[in-house]
Structure 1
């Protein structure tokens, strides 16, 4: 589906969503585009990149968009790509998924005071800023989730298992966003020698650095929280084993004595003596008290 999103005396913004082969061939011929860059623009899982050609610049950027289903390519699970061809009098955007910020950009440029003097590079910077901005909201949400898990770290064992699964999902998402923002930073650095408007470029570059820092911090925090959660789980298991060991230490000698006098022999010393019963009972209490005092001195209790 082809649309002309904006047009003035300087350039025309063409948008192709899920273009057919015929439309792709027409644009290749009309604007003298490269076949290889067009293939990159149509590849769903392609990573961000920049190429400078004689007649145009090609950008491939990705905006955040979380899918409900899982992909073998993790990049596609959390982002969607936009191919951008930037020429002197045209700007072409190609994408498969619906772009959530198109209406906002169109509204801004049509209601802007200098829409007739808008040049394609200015529009490019707007697209780059909006693309980077899509990663800001998930960084804030992940940060809030981290804070919740930090506050509820000492929970029951059942809740702890659920947290571990969720922590891994958040770590996977944050790590992917970090990698994509790093690649976007590389795209901006490669484009830097060809810029004309330094201020607009710096805004995009600085904003990318800011959002990248947020996701990097979240990734580090999640890794630390994941490790700490496992450590707490191991600590709880050790505490349970400690309690079981203490009980075993108390009852092992007592069980031996009761087992000894439970054997089916005709002759066992004190078996038919009432005094022996009280002596043996006192001995068992003395053993338990001795074990308790010894554990206290060793600080096992």
Structure 2
């Protein structure tokens, strides 16, 4: 999981485009789907100069870009579609929070896609940005991934209503696919939290507490990622009400309302899971305290048993010449027997008082 830290060197100027992510080794590649209800054309690995040849503004166009390290390539796409430089800067700056922005002829949306990382407790983060402009949806991904594989298949096989809808519906199902990753991540975290809760009931190893705090950080990170997404989806309502920007059809706003409801459900689930983590943490400290009390009780009982024995040994250890029983033939055995009886008597007394 990446943490965002403020650095003066990272304070980028709008005209100074720089990719701030970690996936700098991925080559920039582009894929284009041109479709309507009757046909679909798919193009791969072509140049920006070929846009006029392949893009058909009479149909729906989905331009998907993988890899953001080639700044000049991103600039050329921005110049072709007349995208403002500050939007390109937001696409390349992966430290920005999720947001939706409505301009005169462009709807810009960026989102963080989260997934668990292998067998570790970390979370993989990728920023994905979307632009809707004149029947064209452009998606920018930091690296090639399989988030949208099933959507490509739906386009190819004409499954569902995606080919009969405009690009705003395509944006909806792309966002929905990304939000499914949140469910996968939360479910993975919940499985690990359940294991931690069971483990905390069996052991008081400090490593358990470290893992609890790690997953608490993960849930906080998930929450920080979903809250701006919730706000952005809610802000789409204002786009519906202003009656100015028509990139989203009125009948499709209900789909984005569903996404907003999903974000609320995700936040509620995170709050519930964080409560479970808090309970596990409290149980761990209670178990630690109980274990410490048991140890202290045992040591106290042992100390209490040896106090009278130490007193007897101290008395008979004094070097007085006329000490009683000093020359008694069975003095040693008598004293040892008395000490043994004292120990047995104290143990019986403690047992009756249920001190252990």
Alignment TM-score, normalising by the size of structure 2: 0.74
Q: Which runs of 5+ in 1 are unaligned?
A: none
Give ranges in structure 2 of 5+ residues lacking alignment: 1-27, 36-57, 241-249
Over 3 Å counting, the alpha-carbon distance change for 1:4 and 1:148 in structure 2 is closer
Aligned: 1:125 with 2:172: yes
1:1-301 aligned at under 5 Å gives the runs 1-8=28-35, 9-19=58-68, 20-67=70-117, 77-112=123-158, 114=161, 116-157=163-204, 160-195=205-240, 196=250, 197-263=252-318, 266-289=321-344, 291-292=346-347, 294-296=349-351, 298-301=353-356
Encode CA deviations 1:172-200: one digit per residue, 9 max, x unaligned: 22221122112211110112222421331
Q: Which has the higher helix share?
A: 1
Displacement after TM superposition at 1:254 (Å) = 0.7
Structure-1-length-normalised TM-score: 0.86
Distance in 2 (alpha carbons) for counterparts of 1:155 and 1:116: 55
Counterpart of 2:293 in 1: which secondary structure? helix
Alignment correspondent of 2:23? none
Deviation at 1:275, TM superposition (A): 4.7
**Alignment deviations for residues 225-267 of structure 1 (CA, whole Å, 9 cap, x no partner):** 1121121122112111111111111112212322443455555
Task: Give the conservation status (yes or no) of the 8 Å contact 1:18–1:95.
Answer: yes
Does the 8 Å contact 1:5/1:13 carry over to 2?
yes
- For the 8 Å contact 2:115–2:185, the answer to whether it is kept is no
Aligned Cα root-mean-square deviation (Å): 2.6
- Post-superposition shift, 1:284? 2.5
- Matches of 1:203 and 1:34, distance apart in 2: 30
Shift of 1:44: 2.2
Secondary structure of 1:65 counterpart: strand
Contact 2:234 2:257 in 1 (8 A): no
- Mapped partners of 1:116, 1:66: distance in 2: 32
For residue 225 of structure 2, give the secondary structure of its aligned residue in structure 1. Answer: helix
